[in-house]
Homo-oligomer: A and B are copies of this chain.
Amino acid sequence: MNIAILGCGTIGAGVARLLLEQGELLAGRLGAAPVLRHIVDIVELEDPRLEALRSPTIDTVLEDPSIDLVVETIGGTRVAYDYTRRCLLAGKHVVTSNKDLVAAHGVELLELAAARKLRYLFEAAVGGGIPVIATLAEDLAANRILSVHGIVNGTTNYILDRMETASQTFAESLAEAQRLGYAERDPAADIDGLDSGRKLAILAALASGRLVDWREIPITGIREIEPGDLALAESLGCYLRLVACMEAREEGAASDLRVAPTLVPRRHPLAVARGVYNAILISGSEVGDTLLYGQGAGAAPTASAVLADISACMRTAWSPAVALRWEEAGPAGVLAAAFRGVLRPRDDQTRERIAELVEAEGLDLEPLSDRSGKTVAWRRPAAARDGVEDLAGWFCERGVERVNWLHDLADGRGD
């Protein structure tokens, strides 16, 4: 199988090196080694082995009938979208690590690929080298997927882990993550939860066959998380993590999707993910709880996942049964379940106002105290009896906004 790589940044170069260096291993396992023929990038490449294969335009690839498969590691949804379409139209399989593109145009690109008996594969789009896509798409084929809870963003996990273990502020941990290359210079997509939201849309589509517009998912990032939240989590025997969550209601119906800072009990399987690691807990109707854990990013793990997709293309011919098919879920595809967890005011004034409202309105909120006996937060029970469904909205209407809402895996269906 002859291969071209589009976009030779960190991940593209990782894939290129793996193809050049692991030829013998792959030939032994796949019968023949995949052959890297072209790399498309406008920038000159440092590694002379890669530069020797470089073309500045995609035309070289489109016009070369010997190319069977294209690896798209450009990222984003503009050029990558255009090139992916053109490669599929030219009869080439496409393998990608581009979660933005899959989340935005997955339905269309999968359909385009299937219509031409081609594969559009994206194991590397979620969880780096962790085989979560294959697990959902193939290994759990006999299961209805009841829920998926994932720590799918290494940057935010690193920041929250360091805020806890090194007693740092959010700004300090973010700066450290940037220094170590774990966070981008513009970290918004990670820390505001957008990256997790896109990955959640993909996981939910694999579970349900329907792709929601990820912008419909209620997303809360970690920008407002303070040391007080970490201290509260610790006092409750929990870690605080950014968790992407899908909980299925009845079959065929919309799912409850959310990305939010979440209290993860220390003995919960997701608690295994420390530092930049990812972990995804899948609950299936037959298999029960299954967890996958590993490095969610980085050149080598992501390249490993790209190679898994290339191997799949080499091993198995296209058939209707191997082709993923997603529908658009439409705006009604996302349900927001009632809040379950802990709310923590970020200042004293808000704290006092909540205390007043809880008493005056008989809200079903259990006060949580710090060691000195001062109420610092309130816990919302799983089945609140005060009739307030949208508690955050209820407080917001009353001018109470400086509150961190911490979902709780111990106190809901996700336990």
- Determine if A300 and B286 form an interchain contact, defined as CB atoms under 8 angstroms apart: yes
- Determine if B290 and A129 form an interchain contact, defined as CB atoms under 8 angstroms apart: yes
A56-78 vs B, CB cutoff 8 Å, 1 = contact: the mask equals: 00000000000000000000000
Interface residues in A241-278 by Cβ distance below 8 A to B read: 267, 269, 271-272, 274
Q: Which of A79-87, A138-146, A387-395, A407-415 contacts B (4 or more CB under 8 A)?
A: A138-146
In whole angstroms, how far apart are the Cα atoms of A317 and B318 in the complex?
10
Q: Which residues of B contact A295 (CB under 8 A)?
A: 287-290
Known contacts A134-B134, A291-B291: A304-B142 contact under CB 8 Å: yes
- Determine if A294 and B303 form an interchain contact, defined as CB atoms under 8 angstroms apart: no
Nearest CB to that of A139 among chain B residues?
B131
Q: Which residues of B contact A300 (CB under 8 A)?
A: 286-288
Nearest CB to that of A316 among chain B residues?
B316
Contact of A321 (CB < 8 Å), options: B284, B292, B315? B315
- Determine if A131 and B129 form an interchain contact, defined as CB atoms under 8 angstroms apart: no
The listed residue with most B CB atoms (<10 A of its CB), out of A130, A131, A271, A287, is A287
- Determine if B311 and A316 form an interchain contact, defined as CB atoms under 8 angstroms apart: no
In whole angstroms, how far apart are the Cα atoms of A290 and B274 in the complex?
13
Q: Which 7 A-B pairs have the closest CB atoms?
A: A142-B307, A129-B287, A131-B139, A290-B294, A291-B293, A286-B304, A316-B316
Chain A residues with a Cβ closer than 8 Å to the other chain, count: 59
Contact of A291 (CB < 8 Å), options: B288, B292, B314? B292
Q: How far is the CB of A361 from chain B (nearest CB, A)?
A: 41
Q: Which of A21-29, A223-231, A368-376 contacts B (4 or more CB under 8 A)?
A: A21-29
Q: How far is the CB of A54 from chain B (nearest CB, A)?
A: 22
In whole angstroms, how far apart are the Cα atoms of A316 and B267 in the complex?
39
Q: Which residues of B contact A331 (CB under 8 A)?
A: none
Q: A140-B304, A288-B300 are in contact. List 17 more A-B contacts (CB 8 A).
A: A25-B144, A29-B321, A31-B321, A32-B321, A129-B286, A134-B139, A142-B307, A142-B308, A143-B304, A267-B274, A269-B293, A272-B293, A286-B301, A286-B307, A287-B305, A289-B294, A290-B293
Nearest CB to that of A142 among chain B residues?
B307
**A123 in contact (CB, < 8 A):** yes
Nearest CB to that of A271 among chain B residues?
B272
Q: How far is the CB of A324 from chain B (nearest CB, A)?
A: 10
- Determine if A26 and B312 form an interchain contact, defined as CB atoms under 8 angstroms apart: no
Q: Which residues of B contact A291 (CB under 8 A)?
A: 272, 279, 291-294
**A320 in contact (CB, < 8 A):** yes
Q: Which residues of B contact A286 (CB under 8 A)?
A: 18, 129, 300-301, 303-304, 307
- Of the A-B pairs whose beta carbons lie under 8 Å apart in the complex, a sample of 30, sorted by A's number, is A22-B142, A25-B144, A29-B141, A123-B139, A130-B290, A131-B135, A134-B139, A138-B311, A138-B312, A138-B315, A139-B308, A140-B304, A140-B308, A142-B308, A142-B311, A143-B304, A272-B291, A284-B304, A286-B300, A286-B301, A286-B303, A287-B294, A287-B304, A290-B294, A291-B293, A292-B293, A315-B316, A315-B319, A316-B316, A317-B317
